[in-house]
Chains A and B, each alone.
Chain A
């Protein structure tokens, strides 16, 4: 039996505000439970594509569907509960004065009850091994800790799909090893989309899409190696 399509993208096109084409006719499928890599040179359009996955940008042509529902202004609020993004720079992902506030931000916006928000913050922080850091300021964390808390900010919303933009970029070898273990754990419970150049991380992925000049250059099946 064929798996559910978690993400379906057809003929997606997007232009930058200056009119130049950023994405041209992207077709892509991600099935539930898969771990997919987006690879390609800098400026290929990976980050722009990622911003389309939960309605931070909308295409000028084509569509993005998440679990069969087309992403648009009306559906984005509900779809953001299903799919969420961990941005490349944790300084942007963590914008609150304390770790607790950052991890609680998503659940509060989802309108969850107070007790449920506390439970989700506890669970998300313990999942990434950061319990006890609730009252710390993000500014005082190490880069690796910031990356882990960034994941917790998304886990607390319990999405089915997690998109990570360059998740291991800037980590030292020890923190990176630790972080890859965390991603292996996440892979068991979520559909993952990773935009990365990290060869070791690519080994985690079931398939990859190679982007070049705003197009899908090719699809790489099986064990992914550049």
Chain B
């Protein structure tokens, strides 16, 4: 049982994929910052931000349908966050509500573009260069490594449950799910213990050390200048 990775298109060979991860991290985070700072109901600016991110996506050769499908996952969260705005009097509430939705969507599109064009280990090393705390990176790294393994274990348990004629009622399944989650927790805990032993055996002393291999070039500089200045122009004059 294998699953697609969140960075499943990061192995492509487009010019965007070959950029230094730090250039992409800096540019896309700058983009998100500008999107967040855009005034409510500035729909022209939002439209231009969409055009910029879609142009970048087209250059990356990552399938648009994949990015769009995954970006929609943010909408339920944005809806919950923005729903109270609808209670405001007049049109202001509605405009703010749409702005929250659009800003969330644009931010997720930018992050998906970043993750889809950068291999995960390179992304972690880029974040390390930006002084993201080691403990946070270690947690992200283990989550990336073991999430799918735990998911596999859950799918195996579900298959075993179904093959023994699990009841179809919602209540019975909730109680089954409870015991499966408990079992998964114990398995994950044991997995963490054995991975920790393997780390100690190879000299782990509490601090995660990694080699950062960056090959910055002129193209990275050009990308940062082009992408960030486009975003800035949209923000200032959109």
Bound pair (A, B): yes
Are A105 and B119 also in contact (CB < 8 A) when A91-B191, A92-B194, A97-B145 are?
A: no
**Stretch from A135-143, A176-184, A217-225 that touches the partner:** A135-143
Query: What mask results when residues 74 to 87 of chain A are scored 1 for a CB within 8 Å of chain B, else 0?
Result: 00010011001101
Are A93 and B198 also in contact (CB < 8 A) when A80-B203, A108-B210, A137-B120 are?
A: yes
Across the interface, which residues of B come within 8 angstroms of A105, CB to CB? 199, 202, 204
The answer on a CB contact under 8 Å between B141 and A109 is no
Q: How far is the CA of A51 from the CA of B193 in the complex (A)?
A: 13
Across the interface, which residues of A come within 8 angstroms of B201, CB to CB? 54, 56, 80, 84-85, 87
Residue A117 interfacial (CB < 8 Å):
yes
Across the interface, which residues of B come within 8 angstroms of A213, CB to CB? none
Nearest-neighbour CB distance to chain A for B202, whole angstroms, equals 4
Across the interface, which residues of B come within 8 angstroms of A81, CB to CB? 203
Residue B200 interfacial (CB < 8 Å):
yes
Across the interface, which residues of B come within 8 angstroms of A138, CB to CB? 145
The interface residues of chain B, by DSSP majority, are classed as helix
Are A87 and B202 also in contact (CB < 8 A) when A95-B142, A137-B5 are?
A: no
Q: Which of B124-178 contact A (CB under 8 A)?
A: 124, 141-142, 144-146, 148-149
The answer on a CB contact under 8 Å between B203 and A97 is no
Residue A27 interfacial (CB < 8 Å):
no
Q: Which of A38-87 contact B (CB under 8 A)?
A: 51, 54, 56, 77, 80-81, 84-85, 87
The answer on a CB contact under 8 Å between A95 and B145 is yes
Across the interface, which residues of A come within 8 angstroms of B92, CB to CB? none
Q: Which of A87-112 contact B (CB under 8 A)?
A: 87, 89, 91-98, 100-101, 104-106, 108-110
Residue A194 interfacial (CB < 8 Å):
no
The answer on a CB contact under 8 Å between A109 and B121 is no
Residue B209 interfacial (CB < 8 Å):
yes
Nearest-neighbour CB distance to chain A for B137, whole angstroms, equals 10
The answer on a CB contact under 8 Å between B149 and A135 is no
The answer on a CB contact under 8 Å between A92 and B197 is yes
Which residue from A97, A109, A153 sits with its C-beta under 8 Å from B205?
Answer: A109
Q: Which of B184-215 contact A (CB under 8 A)?
A: 191, 194-195, 197-205, 209-211
Across the interface, which residues of B come within 8 angstroms of A54, CB to CB? 201
Across the interface, which residues of B come within 8 angstroms of A137, CB to CB? 5, 120, 145
The answer on a CB contact under 8 Å between A109 and B209 is yes
Across the interface, which residues of B come within 8 angstroms of A96, CB to CB? 121, 141, 145
The answer on a CB contact under 8 Å between B198 and A87 is yes
Closest B-chain residue to A156, C-beta based? B202
The answer on a CB contact under 8 Å between A109 and B203 is yes
Q: How far is the CA of A92 from the CA of B10 in the complex (A)?
A: 25
Nearest-neighbour CB distance to chain A for B194, whole angstroms, equals 4
The answer on a CB contact under 8 Å between A95 and B198 is yes
Across the interface, which residues of A come within 8 angstroms of B149, CB to CB? 91, 139
Nearest-neighbour CB distance to chain B for A151, whole angstroms, equals 13
Across the interface, which residues of A come within 8 angstroms of B195, CB to CB? 92, 95
Across the interface, which residues of B come within 8 angstroms of A101, CB to CB? 121, 210
The answer on a CB contact under 8 Å between B148 and A92 is no
The answer on a CB contact under 8 Å between A106 and B202 is yes
Q: How far is the CA of A89 from the CA of B194 in the complex (A)?
A: 9
Closest B-chain residue to A105, C-beta based? B202
Residue A157 interfacial (CB < 8 Å):
yes
The answer on a CB contact under 8 Å between B211 and A139 is no
8 closest Cβ pairs, A-B complex: A109-B203, A92-B194, A106-B202, A98-B121, A95-B195, A97-B121, A92-B195, A108-B209
15 pairs, CB–CB < 8 Å, chain A vs chain B? A56-B200, A80-B201, A84-B201, A87-B197, A92-B191, A95-B142, A95-B146, A96-B121, A98-B119, A98-B121, A104-B211, A105-B202, A108-B210, A140-B2, A154-B202
* Extra 5 A-B pairs, beta carbons < 8 Å, given A85-B201, A137-B5: A77-B205, A87-B201, A92-B194, A95-B146, A110-B203
A contact residues vs B (CB 8 Å cutoff): 51, 54, 56, 77, 80-81, 84-85, 87, 89, 91-98, 100-101, 104-106, 108-110, 114, 117-118, 135, 137-140, 153-154, 157
